[in-house]
Amino acid sequence: MHAIAEFTIIPIGVGVSLSKYVAACEGVLEKSGLLYELHANGTNLEGEWDEVMQAIKSCHEKLHEMGAPRISTIIKMGTRTDREQKMAEKTASVRAKLKSSDSH
Amino acid sequence: MHAIAEFTIIPIGVGVSLSKYVAACEGVLEKSGLLYELHANGTNLEGEWDEVMQAIKSCHEKLHEMGAPRISTIIKMGTRTDREQKMAEKTASVRAKLKSSDSH
Amino acid sequence: MHAIAEFTIIPIGVGVSLSKYVAACEGVLEKSGLLYELHANGTNLEGEWDEVMQAIKSCHEKLHEMGAPRISTIIKMGTRTDREQKMAEKTASVRAKLKSSDSH
Amino acid sequence: MHAIAEFTIIPIGVGVSLSKYVAACEGVLEKSGLLYELHANGTNLEGEWDEVMQAIKSCHEKLHEMGAPRISTIIKMGTRTDREQKMAEKTASVRAKLKSSDSH
């Protein structure tokens, strides 16, 4: 089951600056081989359901190792059986609609 | 890694009434043996990370089988290494704080 | 526009124990007069869109006053125009489906 | 109170293709004058709390007008009092950490 996902990982109890932890998680994703993309409030990634979930779990393990005593993560998981879809197509599809409405 | 989780599963493309699908997912959770609790906007559950994620994946599979062509799920995953915590303690802890502030 | 909402407020930079802050937010909700309900991973509430959003904003303001330098909140907002719905009906509807499937 | 936000709007009961609705919501954001950025699983935006929330509410109103009988939206709201922060700085900060770890 292919999934298009997004997640935001929040280490709790390590102070107010979280970018070091987000960077460590990006390192984990890089090693995972999955397609991923950092944005201002989280990270998009796609792949097989189990691989996506394993990558997010590895981020939790990594951040706990770095000393985060508590972690709260928000995950969006999208799956579909009607057709294959890639992450890049989702924004492309919206942008095509925007463009066509501009021309009217 | 023990996790306290919450998720909301949204089947897309099956019309406006979703309770049949949520009920089917509750059936999946019942079979999983995990501790879970339905609330007005989702379901809390707890257990080992992999078991929790397997249960949510099984809900996606079940709902696709029932004909939902597309599913979007929001998951909150909480883990901690500083101490063990159970789902029931989280509300108990807040309620104790509320009670003590009432007495002042 | 009536909304059924759920939110989880996470103060960042105040250590690992958050129940004091969640309790303060419940105090804010109590004063708001809105219908709300604490659960293990957040709080359900319902009311007019603006009132719901004002209550969540007041929680942010309260927690910043208490010294939280950074706050991250996850909100689910549900609205519908096909019919009126109350929070309590959502779980009732799922439970009715579960019951009817048990009898088969 | 300045907020950095992210949201995903899901119209329910309008079939499986949602890009037309997401595009309409982007049109609403364009008119709002707020800084926003579409990504594969949602939209980042920033501004004053009330303006951000008004924009998201206007998206709900727009999509209901377009015929969506039910809408479910996930919102992440981040506020901080320790310092001002812009959306663009968040990814920049993570990327700086990634770069410095590459050099070791």
Encode pLDDT of D14-58 as tens digits. 999 999 999 999 999 999 999 999 999 999 999 999 999 999 999
DSSP secondary structure letters along D40-101: TTEEEEEEEHHHHHHHHHHHHHHHHHTT-SEEEEEEEEEEESSS---HHHHHHHHHHHHHHH
Q: Which chains touch D (3 or more CB pairs under 8 A)?
A: A, B, C
Non-local (6+) Cβ contacts of A83 within 8 A are: none
By C-alpha distance, which of C93, C100, C94 is closest to B23? C94
Q: Look at residue A30 and tell me whether its pLDDT is greater than 80.
A: yes
Residue B101, pLDDT score: 73
What average pLDDT does this structure show over B28-40? 96
CB-nearest partner of D12 from B8, B16, B74? B16
By C-alpha distance, which of A50, A51, A53 is closest to A76? A53
A41, closest residue in chain C (CA to CA): C72
Residue B103, pLDDT score: 55
Give chain C as a 3 state SS string: CEEEEEEEEEEECCCCCCHHHHHHHHHHHHHHCCEEEEECCEEEEEEEHHHHHHHHHHHHHHHHHCCCCEEEEEEEEEEECCCCCCHHHHHHHHHHHHHHHHCC
CB-based contact, B98 to chain D, within 8 Å: no
In this structure, is the dihedral angle defined by the CA atoms of residues A46, B10, D13 and D73, taken in order, positive or negative? negative
Q: Look at residue D102 and tell me whether its pLDDT is greater than 80.
A: no
pLDDT band at D103 (very low <50, low <70, confident <90, very high): low
Residues of chain C positioned with their CB less than 8 A from the CB of A13: 15-16
The count of other CB atoms within 10 Å of the CB of residue D48 is 12
HSE value, Cβ hemisphere, 13 Å, CA-based, for B78: 23
Sheet holding C2-12, edge to edge: C35-39, C42-48, C2-12, C70-80, D70-80, D2-12, D42-48, D35-39
What average pLDDT does this structure show over C3-24? 97
Residue D53, pLDDT score: 98
Residue D73, pLDDT score: 98
What average pLDDT does this structure show over B36-64? 97
What tokens does B75 get?
């998951």
Cα–Cα distance, C76 to C44 (Å, whole number): 9
For residues A104 and D43, the model is more confident at: D43
What average pLDDT does this structure show over D65-88? 95
Residue A101, pLDDT score: 73
CB-nearest partner of D6 from A20, A42, A97? A42
Q: Which chains touch B (3 or more CB pairs under 8 A)?
A: A, C, D
Residue A44, pLDDT score: 98
Q: Look at residue B34 and tell me whether its pLDDT is greater than 80.
A: yes
CB-based contact, C77 to chain D, within 8 Å: yes
Q: Is A88 helix (H, G, I), strand (E, B) or coil?
A: helix
Q: What's the whole-model pTM score?
A: 0.96
What average pLDDT does this structure show over B56-81? 98
Residue D100, pLDDT score: 80
- Bridge-partner residues for D83, per DSSP? none
By C-alpha distance, which of D61, D68, D53, D75 is closest to D8? D75
Segment among B38-52, B90-104, C50-64 with least mean pLDDT: B90-104
Q: Look at residue C7 and tell me whether its pLDDT is greater than 90.
A: yes
pLDDT band at B39 (very low <50, low <70, confident <90, very high): very high
Non-local (6+) Cβ contacts of C53 within 8 A are: D53, D57
The count of other CB atoms within 10 Å of the CB of residue B97 is 19
What average pLDDT does this structure show over A38-56? 97
pLDDT tens for B2-12 read: 999 999 999 99
pLDDT tens for C44-100 read: 999 999 999 999 999 999 999 999 999 999 999 999 999 888 998 999 999 999 888
Residue D26 and residue A94 in contact, taking contact as beta carbons nearer than 8 Å: yes
What does each C-alpha distance from A47 to A24, A35, B5, C72, D29 come to in angstroms? Answer: 20, 7, 22, 27, 30
Residue C104, pLDDT score: 52
Q: Look at residue A102 and tell me whether its pLDDT is greater than 70.
A: no
Q: Assign residue B47 a region (left: φ > 0; alpha: ψ between -120 and 50; beta: otherwise).
A: left
CB-nearest partner of C60 from D1, D56, D75? D1
pLDDT tens for B72-86 read: 999 999 999 998 889
CB-based contact, D41 to chain A, within 8 Å: yes
Q: How far is D83 from chain B (nearest CA, A)?
A: 27
pLDDT band at A94 (very low <50, low <70, confident <90, very high): very high
Q: Is B18 helix (H, G, I), strand (E, B) or coil?
A: coil
Sheet holding A2-12, edge to edge: A35-39, A42-48, A2-12, A70-80, B70-80, B2-12, B42-48, B35-39
Q: Look at residue B102 and tell me whether its pLDDT is greater than 70.
A: no
Segment among B33-37, C20-24, C48-52, C92-96 with least mean pLDDT: C92-96
Average pLDDT, chain A: 94
